[in-house]
Amino acid sequence: MNTTKLDAWICQTEGIPRLTRDALQTLQLEKLNALLARASRRGGLYAGYPDRLSSLERLRELPFTTAGQLGAAPGKLLLTSQSQVSRVISGDTSGTTGPAKRVFYTEGDLSHTVSFFAAGISEMLQPGQRCLIAFPFSGPFGLGDLIAKAVERLGAVPIRAGFGQSWEALSQLVRDARPDAYIGFPVPLLTLARLYGADFPIRKALVSGDACPKGVMETLQTILGGPLYPHYGSRECGLGGAVTCPAHEGMHIRENHILPEIIDEHGNVLPEGRYGELVITTIGLEAMPLIRYRTGDFTRLLSPCPCGGVSRRIDMVSRRSGPVPMEDLDSALFPLDFLADYRAQRRGEALHLQCAVLEPGKGAILEAAASACCPGLTVRVETFPADRAQRPMYLGKRYCPG
């Protein structure tokens, strides 16, 4: 089995001839102390923090940074001048409350993101192949554009689909372009494949942007005829955070730029193998590095990878947002091959599902499957024929309001 390409990328980016755990930890401590020194000089939110630590273990002695702090006062976290900022991502994400978060990036931050994307995408994409990119294209430094740059860097061809088109428009693009691979949200890929029907050309997929629960992953793998390449990222970690290797057992972390911790509900750091909230310290970002940022995402650190790579891995990530476990619903409902898409909303003690289906008369089956994973709630299902003129029912992360 080939070692993860992410390790080779770390060596190339950092000028390390051979990646070992000791070499990586030495690099991490140097970058952490450089970050602390910058933050100490800047003041802002991290005023009063030490300007260096004697070991990586002492990082856990520092306070957490929260999404509320990031939303309320992003300027206090900016460590460069405004003139050095090339990109600002601002807005709410599904399931969040409070002030919208604004995250700043320098040209160097974005360059590292493109090269990280290229390393991760190269696990599945070969030169000359065509890749459908189903993320928003919002300008020269938008997510879709950065991914397209990474695809081009590999000698492959990006198909700029964007996000939010009708299923018919997207299906026509697939018919015309015949892409080999896909990069985008997991559930829209499943819906596209079911509505497209026979001769679906996409056989490989890097899925990101939202959780990909077990039922969705297994269904997609059956449709595509091979394993997926899940990716974890967020605006706070520089858009790219961790990606799957050929072993397909967890996602290797961009450890030259991100220090991960897993904590319990009391803020205690958990050992490898225990599930908890992911906390990140972004030692590789220039504009807005974060110290012990609580992501609100839940996962665990895994033992060394069968691929032989040095970089640590995280397991599949759970969002755990909203009053109903949307990931559990997705995992229970999407293996039903007549379901194209659905939207969920909780109203009191009732769960309402609007379901686009490929076959009529399936409401009772959907109701039973949803009831099994939402005990205590009365499930009400409305079905209607899936229409290719429709758009995805969620234009972002899947979330059940109520």
402 is a domain residue: no
Residue 93, pLDDT > 80, answer no
Confidence of residue 97 (pLDDT cuts 50, 70, 90): very low
Contact at 8 Å (CB) between 162 and 136?
yes
Q: What is the mean pLDDT of residues 148-167?
A: 96
What is the C-alpha to C-alpha distance for residues 322 and 315, in angstroms, rounded to an integer? 21
Residue 76, pLDDT > 50, answer yes
Same domain for 308 and 252, yes or no, is yes
The reported pLDDT for the residue numbered 94 is 42
The domain that holds 377 is classified in CATH as 3.30.300
59 is a domain residue: yes
pLDDT in tens, 29-73: 999 999 999 999 998 999 999 999 999 999 999 999 999 999 998
Residue 305, pLDDT > 70, answer yes
Domain residue limits at 15: 5-111+233-314
Residue 348, pLDDT > 70, answer yes
Residue 255, pLDDT > 90, answer yes
The reported pLDDT for the residue numbered 95 is 42
Same domain for 45 and 88, yes or no, is yes
Same domain for 238 and 378, yes or no, is no
170 is a domain residue: no
Mean pLDDT score of the chain, rounded to an integer?
A: 94
Interacting residues of 175 by C-beta distance below 8 A, sequence separation 6+: none
pLDDT in tens, 137-150: 987 888 999 999 99
The reported pLDDT for the residue numbered 92 is 56
Same domain for 9 and 106, yes or no, is yes
Q: Are strands 251-253 and 242-244 parallel, antiparallel or unpaired?
A: antiparallel
pLDDT in tens, 313-342: 999 998 776 678 899 999 999 999 999 999
Residue 249, pLDDT > 60, answer yes
Same domain for 36 and 106, yes or no, is yes
Same domain for 282 and 341, yes or no, is no
What is the C-alpha to C-alpha distance for residues 206 and 124, in angstroms, rounded to an integer? 8
191 is a domain residue: no
78 is a domain residue: yes
Contact at 8 Å (CB) between 337 and 218?
no
Looking at the structure of the chain, the number of domains it has is 2
| pTM of the full structure | 0.94
Same domain for 9 and 107, yes or no, is yes
Same domain for 99 and 36, yes or no, is yes
The reported pLDDT for the residue numbered 104 is 95
